A = this chain, B = another copy of it.
Amino acid sequence: AIVAAVAARFGAGPLAGRKVLLTAGPTREFLDPVRFISNPSTGKMGLALAQAARSLGAEVTVVLGPVGAVVRDGLTVVDVVSADDMAREVLARVESVDAFIATAAVSDWRPETRAPQKVKKGSSPGQESLRLVRTPDVLAEASRKVAGNAKRPVLVGFAAETEKVLEHAREKLERKGLDAIVANDVTAPGAGFGTDTNRVTVLTRTGVQRELNGSKNEVARAILELLLVRRP
């Protein structure tokens, strides 16, 4: 830990001079000033990756959805709320980094409209229908933006799934043009949202498949060693 801290401080370490951009946490899609659609992401896995990248010497920026108080030491943090915000902040930065790791649990839908005032219960009968539209796919848009560039960042996605985990993850890896994807069965014990441990399978475009488990810090370090330091 001391070696890593010293390395980070002096810009040494295997990722010295490299810029890593991450997204972390959930997004919130408001339907009025006080109600939103979201998910249970706490940002722990993404922040563990950010701190691990920092300790390996990288210059790290995190585009962070709404989470509670978190350790921001040594990180550049850009706070956002919605998927639209997150997409804008990522697209403004992705062409100037060496790696983009998308860990955020971005809402796939948002309410079509956002009421300017709290919608009162009395104003509707017992049933209501909320019209939803798709949000931008942050990682797919980032991938498209850098696709033709001479210096293209390493692109890593996360797939939080509840069934057919590897199948869904492989499909995302292909469709979004990624270098690797980290697949996560969020319903497995000791894995997923809010836990301190994780159990993941890393799949790469080159066909590597590797299972990792441990604390989120250990898993974060192993993912970076595998994908950014050794680069299979």
Contacts and interface: CB of A to CB of B under 8 A. Distances in A.
B35 A161 contact: no
Q: For chain A, give the interface size range.
A: 35 or more
Contact of A126 (B68, B121, B127, B134): B134
Contact of A37 (B37, B117, B127, B129): B37
A33 to B, nearest CB: 5
A132 B127 contact: yes
Contact of A38 (B38, B127, B133): B38
B129 A35 contact: no
A114 to B, nearest CB: 12
A109 B128 contact: yes
A88 interface: no
B130 A186 contact: no
A107 interface: yes
A34 interface: yes
A17 B149 CA distance: 71
Interface of A: 28, 32-40, 42, 66, 68-69, 105, 107-109, 112, 117-118, 120-121, 126-134, 160-163, 168, 186-187, 193
Contact of A34 (B36, B40, B109): B40
A187 B116 CA distance: 11
Nearest to A126: B134
A37 B105 CA distance: 15
A79 B193 CA distance: 17
26 contacts: A28-B40, A33-B186, A34-B39, A34-B40, A34-B160, A34-B186, A35-B37, A36-B37, A38-B38, A42-B68, A68-B68, A68-B69, A108-B121, A109-B128, A112-B127, A117-B163, A118-B160, A118-B161, A121-B134, A127-B131, A128-B132, A128-B133, A129-B129, A129-B132, A130-B131, A130-B132
